[in-house]
Structure formats: structure tokens, C-alpha cells
Structure 1
């Protein structure tokens, strides 16, 4: 009986299988990925400068270290570090009491010698008249002349010494030799100073030069007139100049050549003895360039994406390893990896991968 039921159910199963097979449909085929619109630019040749950057020192062509010419204690300090001063301005005062006393003593001696000189001058005239009248002898008249000449010479020598002592008083006043900026002031009020003591410095920031030591390996390229850019630590250009002096000798210790570049007076941000970067442009050459934004780095290796014709039509993104030089404006000079005419992708780079379809936009 059970077998009979199975036989009766078999046609139903066969029909159900036929219906199931007849109703099934093939799986739909996924459409190809849509091409991503990207901005591209052909690689072109541009004149790219060959440049190197070196550490340079800014130096003033007019700088003075202020040291006294006399001994004494400082009684007045009229300036502070960083002050702008004019030529002849009084900076410091050294106690002049001893010198003032010396001048007064010398003036007293001069007055005495002047009185002797004036008396002998009168005596010569008196002796002349007496000699001419036959009252005195020739010898008395000659002695009067000799005494007058001696006193005259003594008075004039003393007057010159008095003038010198008075001029010495000026050494007790420290004045600026020219207009400039006051440097560090290591002395204090009341300090005893001597001619070996450094009081301060005065630097003129109007006439500055950059001292650049260039390696001897570049000797064949170094010449007066080479363009120089003075840069700060962040790479900002502070001044444009050119090599104005080139030393005929090589620095034995550094094995380098000293070059100087004059700094324009408009570069107000530079100061004496300031350390800066000097970028030297050796020459220019025609090279392919790519925008900085087109370059991505993977593990330190720079890459760009290039739009290349696809086998199925259209374009696809192709990652190319490149070697680039120092940035030039907003571009990288390409040393290897690209050729003129390659279409470099500039936009949506973060969404690209190798072989992705793209739609180039000019």
C-alpha cells in the first residue's frame, strides 16, 4: 500500500520539477563602472632653474664696536639695546671729574705763563726804548729779548697742552659715529671701564651684504651676477639680489669660496649677523613639469596618475612612478617617468586606483 502511494505521487513531483526549471531566469550581468570625470593637463616643457640653497650670514658694511679711550666709571647710560640713534648722539657718559681738574690746573698754569709772557713782551719794548736812548746796554736789551722769546715759547706750549687736555674731555662722552641701531649693552651704571671694555655696538642696517660660502665643486659655475634669493626659515623670499663679489681665494678650513650679495635697502626685516638661507640659481633648462597637487606619495615614492586609452574604449587611470626635483612655483620638475604630452590627472586623485575608468576634462 505504501508503494502504491509513492507511485501516485511521482507524476506530481515530476510536474513540479518541470515547472521549477521552466520558471528560472539567468542572473543579470552587472553594468560596467561609470567613468569618473577628472581634470587633466598635458605635460609641457618649461624653463626650470637649477638651484641650490646655502646658509648665509647678513653683515653690515658699517658696524662699530664702541670702546672708551679713557678710564673711569660710567655715570650715565642714555640708550638701550635696539634704539635707533643718529650720528653724534650721546650714548654714555664716563665720570670726567679727574680730567676736569686736570684741565683747570692746566688753565691756571697757562694763566701764569701768559702773565710772564705779557710782562716780558712789555719789558722788551721798554728795554728797546732805553737802549735807543743810550740808557741801557745792548746786552740788557738782548737779555730782555731772550726772556721774551723763552716765555713766548713756554706759553704757547702750555696753551697747546691746555687745548689737548680740553679735547680729552670729549673722550668721556661716548657718541654714535653714524646713524644706526644700538646692539647689546653689557655694562651697567657705575661700572669701571677702560679702553679694553666693550660698551656696545652700533650697526647700520641700510648697507647690508649676504656672506655666502659656496662649495669648490661649484667653482666652474660661480660668477658675478648669479641671481640670489634671500629666504627665511619658512622659505619666504625676503630679498632678491645677485653675486657682487667673489673671493679669488678658497677658504682652506671650509674648502669653499666666499661670495657676497648686496641686500637692497628695502629689505627692512634683515639685521646684522642674522642667519638666513641663500638660494643660488645656477642656470635654467627646459624640463617637463607637473603641478604639485598632481603628485601623491606612497612610502615616500612620488607617483602621478595618467589618463591612458583603455582597451574597451575611453580612458583609464594609470599610476606612474616619477622622479621630481625641487618645487618651482606650484610645479615639480619631472626628472624621469613622464614625457611631453602625457595627460596627468589633476582632480579626484584620492578616489582613483589603477585601471579605474576616467573621463578626461580639459
Structure 2
């Protein structure tokens, strides 16, 4: 009896073990099938909006041109000024002393020039009468030319000193507004030190930084508009009168700066530094795109799984603009014949293989 029960228990254990092995083998041989899509190029127009900032076309950083203490600041930030209006005064006592010194040197140089001229004329007369040699005449002529050069140099020093005295009174070069003052009365002004910033309220332009991947899409044949407020505080889109696209890209942000000159009649509600919206409408072009769900991102790594002979292969890709429902543009890393896994997480599992019937590009869209 006991022996029969033991044998029965052993049979049950063997049956359970065989069932477990069979179940494990079933899971082991069950493949992980992942749906794929063929890389396709679609006709997509690059339509997008970016934030921009208003900038004055005419803006000047007014700096000191002489050294001296600022004795008076006649304006403050936000003031409206006219061309030629006095902005600040720099103590010119040192400059005036330099001008007086230059004038004294000019008087001395003119006296030396007169003496040299008289000596030259006398020597020329004596040489013609045979009382002095030709060498003496040459010496007198050289002394006269040296005195003439000294007079010219002293005269230039006087003009320079007079000009420096004019620099002590800093005036506005054109009509505009003071946006910032960077000095106060009592500060020491030195040549090249910025004192204030002046800008003209018109014309204005919008500055926008366009990603490099989108610049070519809207550069030729595209339309650009800027959203600006009008006098009733409502907003409307205006077309720039001209645009300037810088030739160099920012190496860090990978953007290219666009300067959009705005119509004069549409800038009355704008001020420099104000944020605006810029709308780009590009022409349609063939672009290779993939669904956003197919992209695997790990830190700075951007990759997709591509179907291969032994399953899936991870490929690094460089992506462009995200066109939303149309997909993300692929700039580099894929070939037209590549089949991309729509689920990169499942494609990365061991034993994953492409589904027998790949999805079409239309059915893969969200």
C-alpha cells in the first residue's frame, strides 16, 4: 500500500515536471514579432511658427572718447532726445590744459619757423655773393624745412586738442530714445567705455533664430509673416519689407539668424526687446519621414531599429523637424530600402523579428 502511494506521487511529480518543461519550451520558441514600416518620402510643406524679438535697426552704444570725470548727466533711461541734444558733460579741465599747452607749442614753432626763414634768406644772399659755401646754404634750407614740419605738427596738435574739448560734451547723433544709461555723475569716463544706449523708434525689425534643418525649406519661395499689435491693441500678421539671412549658423544652438525689416506703418505699437510671433510657410518638398513612436532616445542618442537578416539592428540617425502627424524628418542614417520597427522597445528584446507583413506608411500615422 505504502509502496503504491509512493509510486503514484512519483508519477505525479514526473508529469508536473514534463508539463513545466513543455511550457518553458513553448515560451522559448514563441517569437517576438514587431511591426515594421518602409522608409518613405512624403511631400510635406514646412509650416511652423517661432518666437522672435524686436530690435531697432538704428541703435548706438555711445561711448566716451576722452578721459575725465562725468560732471553732469543730463538724461535718464526712457527719455526722448533730439539730434544734437546734450546728453552728458565730462570734466574738460585736463583737456583745456592740454589745448593751452598745444597752443603754446604752436607759438614756439611759428617763432622758430620765422627765424629759420630769415636765416635761409640771409644765407642764400650771402652764398650768391660768395661769402658762404653751398654747404651752409644746404644747412639753412634743412633747418627751415625742419621748422616748417614742426609748425605743422604743432598746428595739428592744437586741432586735436580742440577736438578733444568738443568730446567733453556728448550729444545725441540722431532723434531717438535712451534705452539704458551705464554711467552716473561722478563716474570716471575713459575712451571706449560705454555710457548709454540710444535707439531710433523707427524702423524696427524682428530677429528670429531658425533651426538649420528648416532654413532651406523656407529660404526659397517661402512666406514669412510677423504677428504685431496695431493701435487698437489688436494683433495682425504683417509681411516684412525685406529680410536678411546670416550666412553662419550658431555652432551650439544650430540656428541661423533671420533679420526681418518691418513696415514703418506697422511698428507704432512695438518697442525693442518685445517678443513677437513669426510664421513661416514653406513650399512642399519630398522629405523622408518616420513616425515619432519609432524613435529610440537614450540621453543624447537618437536611433531606430532596422530589420536585418538576424532580427533588428540599431542604427544611429540624425533627425530634422517634427512635422507632427506626418512624422519626423530623417536627415541621415537610413537608406530608402530600410524597414524600421514601429515599436523600438519590443524590437530591442532578444529574439525579436520583423512581422511578415510590414505596415504601409499611411497606416502607421498616428
Q: Would the TM-score normalized by the shorter structure come out above 0.5?
A: yes
- Show the counterpart of 2:53: 57
Q: Deviations over 1:301-357 (max 9, x none)?
A: xxxxxxxxxxxxxxxxxxxxxxxxxxxxxxxxxxxxxxxxxxxxxxxxxxxxxxxxx
* 1:203 positional shift: 1.1
Equivalent residue, structure 2, for 1:211: 207
1:165 aligns with 2:161: yes
Alignment check: 8 A CA contact 1:60 1:272 kept: yes
Counting only pairs closer than 5 Å after superposition, residues 1-362 of structure 1 correspond to structure 2 as: 52-195=48-191, 197-215=193-211, 218-219=214-215, 221-223=217-219, 226-231=223-228, 236-237=234-235, 240-242=238-240, 244-247=243-246, 250-266=249-265, 267-281=267-281
Task: Point out the more displaced range, 59-68 or 162-171.
Answer: 162-171
Pairs aligned (count) = 236
CA contact (8 A) 1:231 1:278 kept: no
Tell me the distance in 2 between the aligned counterparts of 1:189 and 1:238: 44
Instruction: Give, in whole Å, the separation in 1 of the partners of 2:164 and 2:203.
Output: 32
- Once the two structures are TM-superposed, the CA of residue 253 in structure 1 deviates from its matched residue by 3.2
248-257 or 81-90: bigger deviation: 248-257
- Quote the Cα distance in structure 2 between the aligned partners of 1:144 and 1:248: 62
Relative to structure 1, the CA distance from residue 238 to residue 93 in structure 2 (aligned partners, 3 Å threshold; closer, same or farther) is farther
- Taking the aligned partners of 1:146 and 1:184, their CA distance within structure 2 comes to 56
TM-score, normalisation: structure 1: 0.56
- Aligned-pair CA distance for 1:187: 1.8
CA contact (8 A) 2:180 2:198 kept: no
Per-residue CA deviation, residues 89-129 of structure 1 (Å, 9 max, x unaligned), is 43222111111101111111110121111122122222322
Deviation at 1:51, TM superposition (A): 6.5
Contact 1:231 1:279 in 2 (8 A): no
CA distance in 2, matches of 1:238, 1:200: 34
Q: Which has the larger radius of gyration?
A: 1
The answer for the alignment partner of 2:304 in structure 1 is none
C-alpha displacement at 1:152, in angstroms?
1.8
Gapped regions of structure 1 (runs ≥ 5): 1-48, 285-362
> Under a length normalisation based on structure 2, what TM-score does the superposition of the two structures give?
0.55
| CA RMSD of superposed structures (Å) | 3.3
Residue deviations 1:246-302 (CA, integer Å, cap 9, x gap): 455554433444333221111212122222223445589xxxxxxxxxxxxxxxxxx
Q: Could you list the per-position Cα deviations for residues 229-252 of structure 1 after superposition, in whole angstroms to 9, with x for gaps in the alignment?
A: 324599932661247234555544
Q: Does the 8 Å CA contact 1:60/1:204 hold for their aligned counterparts?
A: yes
Q: Secondary structure at the match of 1:199?
A: strand
Contact 1:228 / 1:261 at 8 angstroms: preserved in 2?
no
Cα drift, residue 192 of structure 1: 1.4
Q: Give unpaired runs (5+ residues) of structure 2.
A: 1-44, 285-366
Change (3 A) 1:86 1:238: farther
> What are the superposed Cα offsets for residues 8-39 of structure 1, whole Å, 9 maximum, x if unpaired?
xxxxxxxxxxxxxxxxxxxxxxxxxxxxxxxx
1:229·1:237 contact (CA, 8 Å) conserved in 2?
A: no
Q: Judging changes above 3 Å, is the alpha-carbon distance between structure 1 residues 259 and 134 closer, same or farther for their aligned structure 2 residues?
A: closer
1:212–1:148 CA distance, 2 compared to 1 (3 A): closer
Please tell me whether the aligned partners of residues 64 and 190 of structure 2 are also in contact (alpha carbons under 8 angstroms): yes
CA contact (8 A) 2:46 2:214 kept: no
In the superposition, relative to structure 1, how do residues 220 and 96 fare at CA in structure 2: closer, same or farther (>3 Å)?
closer
